[in-house]
Amino acid sequence: MPARASDAAEAAFARLQVSDEFADRLRTAHRELTVQLPFVGDDGRMRVVTGFRVQHSNVRGPFKGGLRFHPTVDLDDVRRLAELMTWKTALVDLPFGGAKGGVSVDPRSLSARERELVARRYIEAIGPAIGPRTDIPAPDMGTDATTMAHLLDAYSRIHGYEPRIVTGKPVELGGSLGRTVATGRGAIVALETVLDHVGRTRPSQGGDVTIAVQGFGNVGQHAALEAHVRGYRVVAISDVSGGWHDAEGLDIPVIEAAMVGGAELVGLDVPGATPIAAIEPLYVDADVVLPAALGRVIDAANVDRVIAPIILEGANEPLTEDACTVLESRGVTVIPDILANAGGVIVSFFEWVQGANMLAWDEAEVLARLDARIAAATRQVLRQAGEGGSLREAAMDLAVRRVVRAMELRGNA
């Protein structure tokens, strides 16, 4: 089978008439690693899990992208997500390329000690292919700042102390203030820029806007809280266990306060709210639906149940290509993942810059810079799309054009 980029990228290559000499370099990854990660479990027995790192493109800067721990991770997934990072970093104009890592393991089935061992084995295995100017991992599904601390430590033991090898680190180890909230906050800032554009009044200016959030991990929780603080009615939320619906709006700070210690939504007492299934926020009557969990949750089979006029893609690839086409043909505004969830990698870049300069910005400065960058990228996408055009296509066109331009300028003598 001839090499192919994602459907969205191939469509952009065709729209922009990118020649095969450039497109071919984006149709396969620069480097793909599959590694064996053996570790001794708490029961004293040796276990082996498989890890991946796919480095898609570094024409605009070092490879950059998260590391996820999830039982369904395979090489194909990581490949697609690595390519997506190339477009994401280009769209928000960061001097980075695209990469992604994954380990096919259920982190919830591991103890804290076992998760640490998997992280250490992973960095030992891929260490020779990464570096602070080569490839910089970050958190993603199933990993967090603690995982990054273990990656940093394992890498530094071999190569000398090097905090810039990862972003999304604990602040005490050189992480950036604002990194944890960045993806959720960025999604809401992108949404507000789109609301302004379509003439909807923001809640902070007196408008009434409802939002439903599917997935309550790092992205979903912080987006829900940010929306609540800005005056949105968050009418539905869910995690893997199930969720809650309240047309009057859920009290997100109270719910989040009750969730400390890893509690699931289903076990909570949420007065006035109706229990719903985990998938249900996608289908409720709301102005905005924010899928913020796994990929491909809206596909051809369930797209007809989605009634919201705006979809804000907090997760990576939450819509299949088919579903997206159906929604856009119905006039639904889809704010694409490479824009909507770029807040995380933007603050990763800020973290990397602060590390390089041995300085630390205060939180207000980080958030102001994040907001400005997301809003500017969103305005560019809206301009590129023109009246009623697809934001997803516009975003891809801007990103692909930047990557191809970098290839042209760098040459290949």
Nearest to ligand GLU of 118, 145 (CB atom): 145
Catalytic residue among 64, 88, 100, 169: 100
For 231, counting Cβ atoms within 10 Å of its Cβ (0-12 exposed, 13-18 middle, 19+ buried), the class is: middle
- Based on CB atoms, which residue is closest to ligand GLU, 22 or 122? 122
Cα–Cα distance for residue pair 326/351, rounded to 1 Å? 38
How many whole angstroms separate alpha carbon 403 and alpha carbon 392? 17
Q: Which is nearer to ligand GLU, 290 or 326 (CB)?
A: 290
Minimum distance, C-beta of residue 41 to ligand GLU, in the bound complex (Å): 27
CB of 165 to ligand GLU, least distance (A): 12
Looking at beta carbons, which residue is closest to ligand GLU?
66
| Crossing angle (nearest 10°) for helices 391-410 and 7-16 | 70
Q: How far apart are CA 135 and CA 71, in angstroms?
A: 24
Burial 327-358 (b: 16+ CB within 10 A, else e): bbeeebbbbbbbbbbbbbbbbbbbbbbbbeee
**Smallest gap, in angstroms, from Cβ of residue 218 to ligand GLU?**
9
Annotation says 169 is catalytic: no
The sheet that has 333-335: what strands, in order across it? 274-276, 242-245, 233-239, 210-214, 288-291, 310-312, 333-335
Nearer to ligand GLU, 51 or 243 (CB): 51
Residues 23/66, Cβ–Cβ less than 8 Å: no
In the complex with ligand GLU, which residue's Cβ is closer, 163 or 249?
163
Q: Report, in Å, the least distance between residue 66 CB and ligand GLU.
A: 3
Strand 63-69 and strand 46-57: the pairing is unpaired
- 10 Å CB burial of residue 367 (0-12, 13-18, 19+) is buried
* For ligand GLU, the closer CB: 221 or 348: 348
Select from 183, 190, 199 the least CA-distant residue to 395. Answer: 190
Q: How far is the CB of 349 from ligand GLU (least distance, A)?
A: 8
Q: Minimum CB separation from ligand GLU for residue 141, in Å?
A: 8
* Nearest to ligand GLU of 65, 249 (CB atom): 65
Give the shortest CB-179-to-ligand GLU separation in angstroms: 8
Q: What's the rounded Cα separation, in Å, for the pair 311 and 306?
A: 9
C-alpha span between 55 and 400 (Å, rounded): 17
- DSSP letters, 224-235, are HHHHHHTT-EEE
**Cα(215)–Cα(70) distance, integer angstroms:** 15
Of 183 and 238, the one with the shorter C-beta distance to ligand GLU is: 183
The answer to whether 288 and 308 are in contact (CB under 8 A) is: yes
Q: DSSP label at 27?
A: H
Q: Which of 198, 389, 188 is nearest to 309 (CA)?
A: 198
Site of interaction with ligand GLU (CB under 6 A): 64-66, 88, 138, 140, 167-168, 316, 341, 344-345, 348
State the Cα torsion 125-77-215-289 to the nearest 10°: 150
Tokens of 243: 């969720």
Closest distance to ligand GLU from the beta carbon of 136 (Å) = 7
- Tell me the CA distances in angstroms from 269 to 109, 148, 246, 273, 359, one per residue in order: 26, 33, 13, 9, 43
Q: Which residues are catalytic?
A: 100
